[in-house]
């Protein structure tokens, strides 16, 4: 039976991936900071789907704990066939209102951790000639909305380039670029969800099913729904000065003046 590792699996997109992959018969390695909640989720998923759920409690911004997760990814005796890099958060304040330590913490989790875990995963995958990595990015990466958008732009570009390089080696890499999704993410940011039109919100389960279908099709980037495909096309091809004038609400959930 194949095994998948998911970071940030206790709620939202990560939990939807855990349910999807467990339903498809994957054993799971679940990675998050909260060991108690992680254990509860693992037991629930194992009981529901009859798969093994290995719990790996780790703060991925801690170098020692990150190294433990990397070591698990490189364990050839218990190979990881799918990695979902989902752990992340958005800062509540704009760049200049955060301390540099807060900015570095977000950078480490959204960029450095994705870099290191992807590397740890793809090296053994290349040796086996099979495997897949899904890096959860954001449509925010197509717009100029501060450091969060910059981090997600890197994730998308990095994943897309790596997908091209590794396709011939039997390893799939894909960036998933959701927009607003009904999860805990925006609540943790303190966002007023009423400022976003209802049609802009996505369901996490539908998002994950679509993403998995895109991965099976060999896509390097998955953008859910027609409305977000239009939005990302706008961000990709519209002059940046025009985007800056038109954007009053960032895709990271903050209203801009």
Q: Give the active site residues.
A: 148
Q: For residue 68, how many other CB atoms are within 10 A of its CB? A: 13
**Cα-to-chain-centroid distance, residue 235:** 20
Q: For residue 17, how many other CB atoms are within 10 A of its CB? A: 29
Question: What is the chain's length?
Answer: 257
At 34 the three-state DSSP class reads: coil
Q: Identify which of 61, 56, 86 has the alpha carbon closest to the alpha carbon of residue 71.
A: 56
Task: Determine the Cα–Cα distance for residues 106 and 91; give it in Å rounded to an integer.
Answer: 8
CB 122 within 8 A of CB 131: yes
CB 57 within 8 A of CB 35: yes
């Amino acid at each position: 039976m194949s095994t998948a590792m998911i970071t940030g699996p206790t709620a939202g997109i990560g939990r939807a991936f855990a349910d999807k992959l467990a339903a498809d018969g994957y054993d799971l390695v679940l990675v998050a900071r909260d060991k108690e909640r992680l254990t509860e989720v693992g037991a629930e998923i194992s009981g529901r789907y009859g798969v093994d759920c290995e719990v790996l409690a780790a703060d991925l911004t801690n170098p020692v704990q990150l190294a433990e997760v990397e070591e698990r990814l490189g364990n050839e005796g218990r190979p990881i066939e799918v990695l979902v890099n989902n752990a992340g958060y958005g800062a509540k304040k704009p760049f200049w209102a955060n301390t540099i330590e807060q900015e570095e913490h977000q950078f480490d989790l959204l960029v450095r951790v994705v870099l290191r875990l992807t590397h740890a995963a793809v090296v053994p995958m290349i040796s086996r000639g099979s495997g897949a990595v899904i890096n959860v990015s954001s449509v925010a990466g197509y717009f100029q909305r501060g450091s969060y958008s910059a981090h997600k732009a890197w994730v998308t570009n990095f994943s897309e380039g790596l997908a091209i390089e590794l396709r011939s080696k039997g390893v799939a890499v894909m960036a998933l670029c959701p927009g607003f999704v009904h999860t805990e993410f925006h609540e943790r940011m303190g966002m007023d969800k009423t400022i976003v039109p209802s049609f802009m919100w996505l369901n996490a389960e539908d998002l994950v099913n679509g993403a998995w279908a895109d991965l099976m099709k060999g896509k390097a980037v998955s953008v859910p729904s027609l409305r977000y495909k239009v939005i990302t096309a706008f961000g990709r091809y519209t002059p940046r000065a025009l985007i800056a004038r038109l954007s009053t609400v960032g895709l990271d959930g903050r209203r801009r003046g």
